[in-house]
A and B are shown apart, each in its own frame.
Chain A
Amino acid sequence: MVFVLSLVVFIYFWQIKSRKLLLSLLVLTAVLSFIAVKGAFDENLFRSSALDIQQYNKRHEFYAKDLGKIYTNKFSLTYFKEYNFPLIKLQRNLFANLDPNLYFFASHPRERAGVEEFNKYSPIFLPFFLIGVFYSIYILLPNFLIYAISVLLLSSIISSKYNLGPILFFPLINYLITVGLILSFKNIKKMI
């Protein structure tokens, strides 16, 4: 599924932007997202651990002491109690997928506690990945940006400890590496 989606992503963003391909891209992404969310929805998003509760209680005291009525009003208290932790966890999941070391170096040197880390890609592909990233930023296609942001937002509800890793990102990474390889070979050809 990841392989097929990678192919569709590459063909659509690099070559042909047809409606059929776009539909395939969206359907495949939706299916992969469904599989990932079903298998690894982060249930802790709305569940507070004992540590979370302890931290909340302590910080509640600190804010109440320093901020007074700015904090101890209904709006602030509700935000801090109900929304603050889920937002932080969403950000944690979101940024966890934006770590290139996760893909090329098994999260080294900041391995995550309690997670079985593994190399998703050989470090040999890193330079090509970086070329692909810079190229994509340089041309900044709106539809690519929208697709990437959508995948990023979807992945924020998937636990970062999922044993298959950030599978929603693999098609994008594959695309960027392929673009990097193509551009590198083109440049080498020019030089020869």
Chain B
Amino acid sequence: MRTIKIILFFSVLAISIFLRFYHLDQLPPGLNADEASLGYDAYSLLLTGKDQYGKAFPIFLRSFGAYQSPLYAYLTTAPIFLFGLSIFAVRLLSALAGILTVLMTFIIIYNSKENNKFWQALLASFIVSFMPWSIFFSRTAVEANLALFLVAGAAYFLIRSLRQPVFFIYASILLAVSTYAYQAQRLSSILFLLGFTIVFAKQFLSRKKIVLVGLALMFIIQIPQLTLINSQAGTRRLDQVNYFSKNYFDQNGGNLKSVLFGQQIYIFNQFSSHYLAYFSPKNLFFDPDPQEGRSIPDLSVFYGWMFIPLLFGFKVFWEKRKDPTIKILLLFIAVSVIPAALTREPFYTLRVLPLFWVLSIIISFGGFEILCNLRFNILKVILLFIISTFTFVTLYNNYFILLKYERSSEYGFPYIELAKKTEELSSKKFVVDLERQSQSYIWFAFFKKYDPYKLQDQGKDVLKNYYNAADFNGNKVIGNVEIKDDIWKQEENSCISDIIVGDLLAVSEADIKEHELHREFEIPDLSGKVKLKAYSTRAKGKCY
């Protein structure tokens, strides 16, 4: 029996590794702009100790002006050192974090007081391993996935701390580090630790010193971020997306504008509706994230059939609500949605990965309950087989086939193909329109492995006030490619034959006539839709 258990455990691990590493560099096809920026910053940090703007060891990465959390980029220097600047190297950390989260799920449930803890843990880790949200975010370079692993690790330490209080300190450290992994953790990790301390206050009354040390360590590790709390880097993300401002209320408050305390009621309504949206079965089981770059075609964060085991799982969780492991997981659910609910976005999946992780565990508990209630073992096997087959077929169709064809533009595929083209035609000068894709320079910098010193030189103006330079300008020169907003502006006395590249709106028929342009090539996405068109100018013709 022990051998069977070991084989099953390693089978689940093998499945999770396969689902996360299979064609990792090809699927999704390309890199989205944020991935490319993280990867290039890591490359720049590795070679120069500075980010793409020349800031030495930044606490936040300026990137495109939204100030990303830096931990993922710092840790990605290792894979880039080993494998070079490539899609695989950039995504490796996220894939590893995904696998470790599956492992962590097993460890947490296995160390609980469940009667059938091995089977429960195995089912929980198996379910997490093939969840759409887990696979999707493990296969893209997302800081939130790294943060999830750190938070899962902290959850384990917190559970252990109820028997061995010193683990509270390790948990505090992990939660503090997670705040450098993803912006949402800056709030939720702190709330979670405080919530834990309050809920389990009785257990820690005689160990106040340990709690104080843990909280103090959390504060100390936060100091670099706290020093920037009043800067744009510290607050930019929230400023961009919240609904608290008077301006926003004036534009969207409706009838509440004429009501006493109308703004406060509006904010409360907004928070409540956004909070509830993350628990809506429609959003969890059917409607994917509205942003195509964060979702799989026709597949939401969970498979539709999981609604039934989720209900049973909630029943089981409620029955066991006094169990410390269950209490901690329920606390996770309550707290992890708060940062997302404070923002305007309707269903921003990336901000609530801890919620999905815990819901996956609840689904596994519900599934286990259903299986236990089935009388005959053969029925259990048949049910598991049918559901697994159906699920894997759905996953394969929607993720491994549809995603690459229907979402290739979200991963910069046309620009990556253009970057390759610019390398082939290295003697030509390219001018790329950034009007509707202001971040396009990063794909050229990444795939041309552009010298970080040269790129830093172009962005050095922001160094004067790095953490307060949120306004982003995508005009850059990357080798033989100039990315600019006004593609018709030419240097004086210059009649060099350029190749102008833009999307379908960049160059009109009138422009083609006026500037005597000649179509050179087109770049489609993987579905065959033309996304970029390239025209050459005639050097001997009109100079403008």
Residues of A within 8 A of B (CB): 58-59, 62-63, 66-67, 88, 91-92, 95-96, 98-102, 104-105, 108-110, 123, 126, 134, 137-138, 140
Contact of A105 among B273, B287, B527 (CB under 8 A): B273
Complex Cα spacing A58 to B298, Å = 15
With a cutoff of 8 Å between Cβ atoms, the chain A residues found around residue B283 in the complex are 99, 110
Q: A109-B270, A109-B274, A109-B345 are in contact. List 13 more A-B contacts (CB 8 A).
A: A58-B527, A59-B402, A62-B401, A62-B402, A62-B527, A63-B397, A95-B282, A98-B281, A99-B283, A104-B276, A108-B273, A110-B346, A110-B347
Q: Name 11 interchain pairs, CB-CB below 8 A, sorted by A.
A: A58-B405, A58-B527, A62-B527, A95-B282, A95-B286, A98-B280, A98-B282, A109-B344, A123-B272, A126-B272, A140-B315
Interchain pairs with CB closer than 8 A, number: 77
Nearest to B397 among chain A residues (CB) is A63
Which B residues have a C-beta under 8 Å from some C-beta of A? 269-270, 272-274, 276-277, 279-283, 285-287, 290, 298, 304, 307, 311, 314-315, 318-319, 344-347, 397, 400-402, 405, 527
Q: How far is the CA of A123 from the CA of B153 in the complex (A)?
A: 37
Q: How far is the CA of A100 from the CA of B274 in the complex (A)?
A: 11
Cα distance A102–B401 in the bound complex, in angstroms: 33
Which residues in A have their C-beta under 8 angstroms from that of B405? 58, 62
Nearest CB on A from B280, distance (A): 5
CB nearest neighbor in A for B401:
A66
> Binding site of A, secondary structure by majority: helix, strand, loop or mixed?
helix
Please indicate which of the listed interface residues B274, B282, B347 has the most CB atoms of chain A within 10 Å of its own CB: B282
Secondary structure call for the B interface: helix
Please measure, in the bound complex, the distance between the C-alpha atom of A91 and the C-alpha atom of B279, giving whole angstroms: 18
On whether the beta carbons of B276 and A100 are closer than 8 Å, the reply is yes
Closest 6 CB pairs of A and B: A95-B286, A109-B346, A99-B282, A105-B273, A98-B281, A95-B282
Across-interface contacts of B397 in A (CB, < 8 A): 63
Query: Looking at the complex, which one of B280, B285, B298 makes contact with A101 (CB distance below 8 Å)?
Result: B280
Contact A138 B402 (CB under 8 A): no
Q: Would A109 and B273 be within 8 Å (CB), given that A67-B401, A95-B286, A134-B318 are in contact?
A: yes
A191 to B314: give the CA distance in the assembly, Å: 26
B-chain residues with CB within 8 Å of residue A140 when the two chains form the complex: 315
Residue of A nearest to B527 (CB): A58
B530 to chain A, nearest CB (A): 15
Chain B residues whose C-beta falls within 8 Å of the C-beta of A105 in the assembled complex: 269, 272-273, 276
Say which residue of A95, A104, A110, A138 sits within 8 Å of B315 (CB atoms): A138
Which residue of chain B has its CB nearest to the CB of A55? Answer: B406
With A62-B405, A137-B315, A137-B318 known to touch, is A109 a contact of B277 (CB < 8 Å)?
A: yes
A92 touching B276, Cβ below 8 Å:
no
- Decide: B280 and A99 in contact? CB cutoff 8 A: yes
Residue of B nearest to A97 (CB): B282
A58 to B408, CA, bound (A): 14
- Smallest CB–CB gap between B394 and chain A, Å? 11
